[in-house]
Amino acid sequence: PAQAQALKAQAAELLRARGAVLVAHYYVDGHLQDLALETGGCVADSLEMARFGRDHAAQTLAVAGVRFMGETAKILSPEKTVLMPTLEATCSLDLGCPADDFAAFCDAHPDRKVVVYANTSAAVKARADWMVTSSCALEIVGHLKAQGHKILWAPDRHLGRYIQEQTGADMLMWQGDCIVHNEFKGIELQLLKEQYPQALVLVHPESPRAVVELADVVGSTSALIKAVVEGQAQDYIVATDNGILHRMRQLAPGKNLIEAPTAGNGATCKSCAHCPWMAMNGLRNLISCLESGSPSITVDEPVRQRAQACITRMLDFTA
């Protein structure tokens, strides 16, 4: 802890010296989340991160999260420098949706509005009409359906199915998934619920249907945090990346937070409720990128402009 405090102080000084602000996701290391809040930055979901980065006066953004979050910041603020602790931090949804294959899929279905999740590359966003995050996807797809549009959705198949069921929209789907949320297990969750009959079950919609069906609250990371803060229950079973527990404990001290079961409880899974790419962010590589000014995000200008239009549509709609 003493060492972490020293590293945090060093990072805080570097942020100040660079005139940079730290924008962190709920899934990254707790020290980074605390540092962001202590230095005037933010801890947020991907929608709030995008808006905060765009609107903040700082000319340098340090983004602790995964690559698409840094890219989104750069797309919205090309004049700013966007530093990341590592550019290796990607996402299985982004990896599973290569821009060329995605463009071919879109070309084959020109009659559909193309809606993509935030967890995609700049090139995929450049091919889309709308970007959405899990906190506004239902609203935006509902809006498009009301206008009579059919939808091509990518890349998360679980989130897509959830939105399809909720809105009744005609959605053709890419078959991607998140290696973290995909591991939550319905049968084991049912057994856990029987152990904690009073618990509220909070589920991120990137989880499989069997898990979503057992939820009391289905929502984005911000919505799940709100559910813990405002909920009347004492016990909460949480089916999302366990990095979120740090912020939940701070905002709702005294409540009992229980991780939803993954294949890892007794068996093995690839990523047992914590994203290996989010976990690549730490105080040391944050310090290193602030010292050296690298790595930083670059996005090809024609791609950036098209991706910006797609993201801005969402930001304007949700403003």
Report the interface residues with ligand SF4, using CB under 6 A: 66, 91-93, 119, 178-180, 206, 241, 275, 277-278
Q: Which of 164, 221, 242, 296 binds ligand CIZ (CB under 6 A)?
A: 221
Q: What's at 230, amino acid-wise?
A: E
- Does 178 sit near ligand CIZ (CB under 6 A)? yes
* Residue 221 site contact among ligand CIZ, ligand SF4, none (CB < 5 to 8 Å, cut-off depends on kind): ligand CIZ
- Min dist CB 65 to ligand CIZ, Å, is 8
121 is written with which tokens?
């590359």
Cβ proximity to ligand CIZ: between 154 and 290 the closer is 154
24 - beta bridge partners?
43, 64
Cβ proximity to ligand SF4: between 179 and 233 the closer is 179
Q: Write out the binding residues for ligand CIZ, residues 88-117 only, by CB under 6 A.
A: none
Cβ proximity to ligand CIZ: between 220 and 242 the closer is 220
Residue 215 CB neighbour total at 10 angstroms: 21
* Residue 179 site contact among ligand CIZ, ligand SF4, none (CB < 5 to 8 Å, cut-off depends on kind): ligand SF4
Q: Which of 33, 92, 120, 133 binds ligand CIZ (CB under 6 A)?
A: 133
What is the Cα Rg of the chain in Å? Answer: 19
d(CA 144, CA 316): 15
* Residue 45 site contact among ligand CIZ, ligand SF4, none (CB < 5 to 8 Å, cut-off depends on kind): ligand CIZ
Residue 110 CB neighbour total at 10 angstroms: 8
220 is written with which tokens?
């984005």
Burial class (CB in 10 A: 0-12, 13-18, 19+), 196: middle
* Residue 277 site contact among ligand SF4, ligand CIZ, none (CB < 5 to 8 Å, cut-off depends on kind): ligand SF4
The torsion angle over the Cα atoms of residues 99, 100, 105 and 108, rounded to 10 degrees, is 140
Q: Is 256 strand, coil or helix?
A: strand
Q: Write out the binding residues for ligand CIZ, residues 141-160 only, by CB under 6 A.
A: none
Cβ proximity to ligand CIZ: between 120 and 221 the closer is 221
CB contact at 8 A, 64 and 28:
yes
- Min dist CB 95 to ligand CIZ, Å, is 13
Distances 269 to 157, 261, 265, 276 between C-alpha atoms, Å: 19, 11, 9, 12
DSSP conformational letter for 272: T
Cβ proximity to ligand SF4: between 15 and 238 the closer is 238
- Contacts with ligand CIZ by CB under 6 A lie at 45-46, 118-119, 133-134, 178, 204, 206, 220-221
